[in-house]
Amino acid sequence: MSARILIVDDLAPNLHLLEVKLTAQYYDVVTAMSGEKALKIAQQGRIDLILLDAMMPGINGFETCKRLKSNQATWHIPVIIVTALEETKDRIRGLNAGADDFISKPICDFSLLSRVKSLLRLKMVTDQLLTHTGRSLENAKPILDTLDKRNGRILIIDDHERMVEKIASPLRNHHEIITETDPKNIAKHLKQNIDLVIVSIVSSRFDGLRVCAQMRLDARSRDVPILVISNIDEQTRLARAYDIGINDTLMRPVEEQELLARVNTQLKRKFYADSLKENFNESLEMVVTDPLTGLGNRRYFDSSITPLFDQFCETGTPFSLVIFDVDNFKRVNDILGHDTGDKVLQEIAARLATKMRSIDVVCRYGGEEFVVAMPDTDQASAIIAADRVRALIARSPINVDGQAFDVSISAGVSEVKVNDKFTDIFKRADQALYRAKKTGRNRVCGQEAQKAA
């Protein structure tokens, strides 16, 4: 997940430490050593997440956060407060200032990256919602505020009744809570339009990871956020949980403010995504929309890529083109029927729409072929992004009418060159796709036969 992160800390060693950790994860990092500087950088735009130290001279982190969240140009940027303070009142102060989450020093790498990834997903969905509705930041805020106030339906799964109640108690004031100590009964709860599932993976009577895996295979819960409760020393199981597809983690002993922050983030993302789908469905009849998948069609793509060529000619800002193609799709249609084939295409489209960046132009170009234009992205970065999507689809079966089907995709990638026309970059990406198909499928190739492993 590519993103630009602003780190704010008045101490150079702390700033450098976080910069190294996040740069190692291929994030684009910007730094500031004061609240004043941070406000100026955020105002300039293109910041996806802010890590903000609480205690700084001048404008401290709490006041900086408050100003960010009250500014029409920056209110939508997720903020993580970084603090050495342990008292509950300080965490409450951060949340009251508008912070979306917080982490404590000394910083645990796993906790840091979990928080970052979780809030970047929220930012991505927020951007998609704003883009699709065509509203300005100022006009969209009342809509998102309304979504933020919605009550959620939360399912809590733990074999320990006391732990279930500890989690449920602070949430009951704002949400409808369903508790379950036996995973065999989960299926009946999923019929109730659950908005969030909280699962303990340290339960002794059942395998919490298996519960998560089963929910990701069930069409009713595939897109429902999963918040996992674990012990800090369960690093291997936590990593496996993320591979399965959980959204966030919460470490025991569970602290109330931390619980509320994690739940709030996941519910926001769910409600924003639901609203995005509703708005998306309303535009299915638009001439630039593919009626089967809801993605843009060829006409939409051809018009959307023109500004990228203009920007490249004016500023030299690169962009890349990715062509995705479903492997052996004719066999799917011949053996399983066109109705099943259509549902496979719809699921592939949905995964592309949610896994690519909000600034990427994603469309169904025809048949089983999808094309993505990635602004401000060179070929190497585009290959990494395309291969991440390829791997996700390959390891996540598609469920159609209660049956799971293994589906894979191949992709060809090309970066724009001087004097290129659309047919030039498309031809190179198509040739790269051909190599990917010819050399075994389920892989990504670049325009010069580079492969992403």
Say if CB 310 and CB 322 are below 8 A apart. Answer: no
Q: Is 248 helix (H, G, I), strand (E, B) or coil?
A: strand
* DSSP strand pairing (49-53 vs 4-8): parallel
Q: What tokens appear for 214 in the block? A: 């089963």
Identify the residue whose tokens are 């992004």.
Answer: 385
DSSP string for residues in 17-77: HHHHHHHTTT-EEEEESSHHHHHHHHHHS---EEEEES--SSS-HHHHHHHHHHSTTTTTS
Task: Please provide the distance, in angstroms rounded to a whole number, between the alpha carbons at the two ends of the chain.
Answer: 17
Q: Strands 153-157, 196-200: parallel, antiparallel or unpaired by DSSP?
A: parallel
**Residue 315 to residue 200: CA distance in whole angstroms:** 51
Give yes or no: 256 in active site: no
Task: Kindly report the length of the chain.
Answer: 453
Q: Let me know: does 150 contact 176? Beta carbons within 8 Å.
A: no
Q: Report the alpha-carbon distance of residue 101 to residue 80 in Å, rounded.
A: 5
Catalytic residue among 180, 234, 347, 368: 368
Beta bridge partners of residue 154, listed in sequence order = 177, 196
CA nearest neighbour of 116 among 35, 25, 44, 34:
25
- The answer to whether 254 touches 231, Cβ cutoff 8 Å, is no
The amino acid sitting at 109 is: D
Identity at 191, one-letter amino acid code: K
Packing angle between helix 256-282 and helix 137-148, nearest 10 degrees?
120
- Cite the DSSP H helix spans in 285-337: 298-315, 329-336
Catalytic residues, by residue number, are 368
